Structure 1
Amino acid sequence: MQLPEISIRRPVFATVLSLLILLVGWVSFTRLNVREYPKIDNPVVTVETKYLGASSTVIESQVTKVLEDSLSGIEGVDVITSISRQEQSQITVNFVLSRDPDSAAADVRDKVSRVRQRLPQGIDEPVISKVEADAFPVIWLSFSSESLSALEISDLANRIAKPMLQTAPGASDV
């Protein structure tokens, strides 16, 4: 027997079954958690290295390239992007979403420590950090004035606005 056939022969059963399905759906819907910004741990790890006095070309060839070559061999790497500036190298390693962020960061630490001796003498220790989903700014504020200079605006923002925003409930970083 098909469901339409049963519904025609036993209309009370069909009504009760429909109400039961509706009730289960309503209960499930009301218990469903919904967040405006769900917590998603994207497996993204950054490696920042400072080498005082080095030009961007030296940073690129002696720091960024060495680290990139080492990091590209890690399992689950999706995209590697890097920026080489004067005195600073920043490498961002994006992993596939199925990769655990903690193990990805551990693998990056391991690879960086293996090539540490190939980096130039006098370079600062590379700083390895996971990118947290909640670390991205939700609000950007800018201040302007027709009568104050940029330095005065910056001073006012740091002395007055910043302390007020830091004490706001839910503010983690200002």
Structure 2
Amino acid sequence: MFSDIFIRRPILATVCSLVIILAGAIAIPTLPIARYPELAPPSVTVTAFYTGANAQSVESAVTTPLEQVINGVENMLYITSSSTNSGLATITVTFAVGTDGDLAAVNVQNRVNQALGRMPTDVRTNGITVTKNTAGFLGALGFYSDENKYDSLFISNYLDRYVRDALKRVPGVGNVIIFGERKYAMRLWLDPEKLAARSLTAGDVTNALREQNVQVAAGSVGDSPASADQLFQLSVRAGGRLNDVSQFENIVVKAGGSGALVRVKDIGRVELGAENYSSRLRFAGLEASGIGIQLLPSANALQVFDGVQVEMAKLEKNFPPGMHWKLAFDNVIVVRESITEVLYTLLEAIGLVVLVMFLFLQNWRSTIIPAITIPVSLIGTFAFVKLFGFSI
């Protein structure tokens, strides 16, 4: 029998056991630890933002054209989409189980590129993002200030500039989403009566803004070819885009025949505010912003969460005075508790197995030999868990 080989050769049996243990021990640290096993099919999310548009406009100008080109991408199962009154278009493409997530994202990105020419200028300017990540959040962080020292607009922009990119660099992080996000923007409030009195429309103001708020390359002075006595070459730096309220107020919308100029300040007002006020977030009763962490597929949830906390400890040192952060919710608790319960269950099972063997053999020395095979079997199993692509 096959078992006789190991019974008659104890050294060979010992070596094989050590090899199995080593293979399992090496595989354990590399195994992904997730809240749920990877049973759901992979998905890719496409996000676009159409500034100032309502849900119907977003649907017709952005969502539908994107759906038309994405539909039928290789290995696609189904596609879902949503359009909101805040100008956000979200399309989720679900693929067949076993499809490579990276390849799926590339295929979707190629389809999106085909539709860029049909997108409104604002959408192309804002950019269309294609991401692959797990559904749900690993955890969420809340950011606030003492006695509302900083409003949500300031906190949101601070997170966008200094925190989001740092957290995205943590290994295993798939996406970082800012809850209650409010980016700084110059807001133009137009008076319909003043527009009508001057025979103007909102489109005229938009066109004037596009024409006069541009970044141009002004060239240089003294560049080649030039005369032999030309000794200096100077780059010309133009003013570029407008950056304060007074500059926007003085944008010329219309010029009259007598030389009279109609400026933005004559038909409305300008203020520095948030790009979007569609959402509002509070944390412990204070104005706040939040960050949600999403995992990459096959990422180790415990390692990612620890990495996020280490990174936040570094970033916290540079926070503005009075600004703080706290953990809003943590799904890693489920993972830790599950692992703890599994360990307790294994210990109880091992104890029961050893007890049953002792009751039958009635000898501790005889019980030790089969008991040694238990850790060999358990640890060695993780090598096959790694081989077949499972997660803990």
Under a length normalisation based on structure 2, what TM-score does the superposition of the two structures give? Answer: 0.32
Matches within 5 A, 1:42-121: 44-86=43-85, 87-119=87-119, 121=120
CA distance in 1, matches of 2:129, 2:142: 30
Aligned residue number for residue 129 of structure 2:
128
Q: What's the offset of the Cα at 1:70? A: 1.3
Q: What's the offset of the Cα at 1:11? A: 8.5
Counterpart code for 2:44: V
Aligned residue number for residue 25 of structure 1:
20
CA distance in 2, matches of 1:110, 1:11: 57
The change in CA–CA distance for 1:36 and 1:122 in structure 2 (over 3 A counts) is closer
CA distance in 2, matches of 1:137, 1:171: 17
Greater Rg over alpha carbons, structure: 2
The 8 Å contact of residues 43 and 94 in structure 2, kept in 1 or not, is answered as yes
CA distance in 1, matches of 2:311, 2:33: 14
Q: What's the offset of the Cα at 1:170? A: 4.0
CA distance in 2, matches of 1:140, 1:130: 19
Q: What's the offset of the Cα at 1:12? A: 5.9
Please state whether the residue corresponding to 1:22 is helix, strand or coil.
helix
RMSD after superposition: 4.0
CA distance in 2, matches of 1:78, 1:169: 39
CA distance in 2, matches of 1:117, 1:29: 52
Gaps of 5+ in 1: 159-166
The change in CA–CA distance for 1:104 and 1:12 in structure 2 (over 3 A counts) is closer
CA distance in 2, matches of 1:55, 1:93: 23
Counterpart code for 1:85: T
CA distance in 2, matches of 1:53, 1:100: 36
Q: What's the offset of the Cα at 1:141? A: 4.7
The 8 Å contact of residues 58 and 83 in structure 2, kept in 1 or not, is answered as yes
Indicate whether 1:169 and 2:310 are aligned: yes
Q: What's the offset of the Cα at 1:136? A: 6.7
Q: Deviations over 1:15-54 (max 9, x none)?
A: 344333322222222222335637x9x8543222222332
The change in CA–CA distance for 1:45 and 1:20 in structure 2 (over 3 A counts) is same
Q: What's the offset of the Cα at 1:168? A: 4.5
CA distance in 2, matches of 1:101, 1:84: 25
Aligned residue number for residue 163 of structure 1:
none
Aligned residue number for residue 286 of structure 2:
153
The 8 Å contact of residues 82 and 89 in structure 1, kept in 2 or not, is answered as yes
Q: Deviations over 1:133-153 (max 9, x none)?
A: 5x974333569xxxx894862
Please state whether the residue corresponding to 2:24 is helix, strand or coil.
helix
Indicate whether 1:37 and 2:33 are aligned: yes
Please state whether the residue corresponding to 1:140 is helix, strand or coil.
strand
Aligned residues: 153
Counterpart code for 1:89: A
Counterpart code for 2:95: F
Q: Deviations over 1:58-102 (max 9, x none)?
A: 322332122112111210223322111012211122333543444
The change in CA–CA distance for 1:29 and 1:57 in structure 2 (over 3 A counts) is same
- What is the percent sequence identity of the aligned residues? 24
The change in CA–CA distance for 1:53 and 1:21 in structure 2 (over 3 A counts) is same
Q: Deviations over 1:105-133 (max 9, x none)?
A: 332232222223334x4441241222345
